[in-house]
């Protein structure tokens, strides 16, 4: 049973075209929702942690939000260097390991 | 430099051979993890460790062995490699700061089993 589902699988944007990536989750007691960025041939790089519905975090052109069932990663006026795979993960109540979604592969075209 | 390192970065081995992938972190983090990443599956947990001499199985632990005699090292051994173990392997570490458990990843080891 999938606990974390990311959509879309792939997204192609023009430079400056804002959009959102979705991460929906089903866990009994959320202890944290994590966003990572992964460049080809590299390990995932930590971006944000969100803990409760209504929480928001920002970093440059990225803004992550959280509801009781899903999280969005909003990308405002993206640049080609934002091209990467974005991974979402959750930590369930009582469990230490994170459960990852399969990621969204973002391509930003100049 | 502080951080998490993996070695080797690339490895080609034959079916049936034993292979050990190394992971070393300099942050003194309590937790360490091993994942494999395959197309269509994303990151899947193999094993994790909460402290030296404490290890637990993850989702895909069959065919793998781990040990953790020192906090900073967490080697992963494939006892008898199979083609299905061809993958990219990532090591990660984390520590508790308040309620935070974010994991920090190494650069990965690309393993090919022929």
What are B54-102's pLDDT values in tens digits?
999 999 999 999 999 999 999 999 999 999 999 999 999 998 765 667 8
CA dist., res. A7 & res. A36, Å (int)? 15
Task: List residues of chain B with CB under 8 Å from any CB of chain A.
Answer: 31, 33, 35, 40-45, 48, 50, 58, 90, 92, 99-108
pLDDT tens, B7-51?
Answer: 999 999 999 999 999 999 998 899 999 999 998 888 999 999 988
**CA nearest A92 in B: which residue?**
B101
By the 8 A CB rule, do A35 and A4 touch? no
Q: Which residues contact B97 (CB under 8 A, 6 or more apart)?
A: none
> For position A1, what pLDDT does the model report?
57
Yes or no, beta carbons of A43 and B108 under 8 Å apart: yes
> For position B95, what pLDDT does the model report?
84
pLDDT tens, A49-59?
Answer: 999 999 999 99
Average pLDDT of A38-62?
95
Residue to mutate among B32, B39, B42, with most A CBs inside 10 A, is: B42
CA dist., res. A95 & res. B30, Å (int)? 15
Average pLDDT of A74-78?
97
By the 8 A CB rule, do B34 and B89 touch? yes
**CA nearest B57 in A: which residue?**
A97
CA dist., res. B48 & res. B58, Å (int)? 7
Confidence category of residue A73, pLDDT binned at 50, 70, 90: very high
Name the percent of chain A lying above pLDDT 90: 84
Chain A residues near residue B3 by CB distance under 8 angstroms: none
> For position B97, what pLDDT does the model report?
62
**pLDDT at residue B104 tops 60:** yes
């Amino acid at each position: 049973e999938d606990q974390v589902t990311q959509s879309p699988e792939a997204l192609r944007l023009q430079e400056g075209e804002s959009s959102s990536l979705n991460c929906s989750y089903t866990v009994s007691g959320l202890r944290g929702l994590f966003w990572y960025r992964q460049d080809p041939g590299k390990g995932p790089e930590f971006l944000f942690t969100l803990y409760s519905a209504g929480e928001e975090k920002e970093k440059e052109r990225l803004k992550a939000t959280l509801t009781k069932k899903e999280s969005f990663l909003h990308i405002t006026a993206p640049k080609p260097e934002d091209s990467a795979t974005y991974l979402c993960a959750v930590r369930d109540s009582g469990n230490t390991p994170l459960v990852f979604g399969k990621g969204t592969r973002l391509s930003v075209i100049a | 430099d502080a951080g998490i390192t993996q070695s080797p970065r690339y490895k080609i081995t034959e079916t049936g051979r034993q292979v050990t992938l190394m992971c070393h972190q300099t942050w003194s983090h309590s937790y360490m993890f091993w994942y494999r990443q395959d197309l269509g599956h994303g990151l899947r947990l193999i094993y994790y460790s909460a402290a030296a001499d404490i290890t637990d199985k993850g989702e895909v632990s069959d065919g793998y062995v781990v040990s953790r005699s020192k906090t900073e090292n967490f080697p992963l051994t494939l006892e008898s490699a199979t083609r299905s173990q061809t993958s990219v392997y990532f090591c990660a570490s984390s520590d508790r700061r308040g309620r935070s458990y974010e994991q920090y990843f190494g650069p990965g080891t690309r393993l090919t089993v022929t």
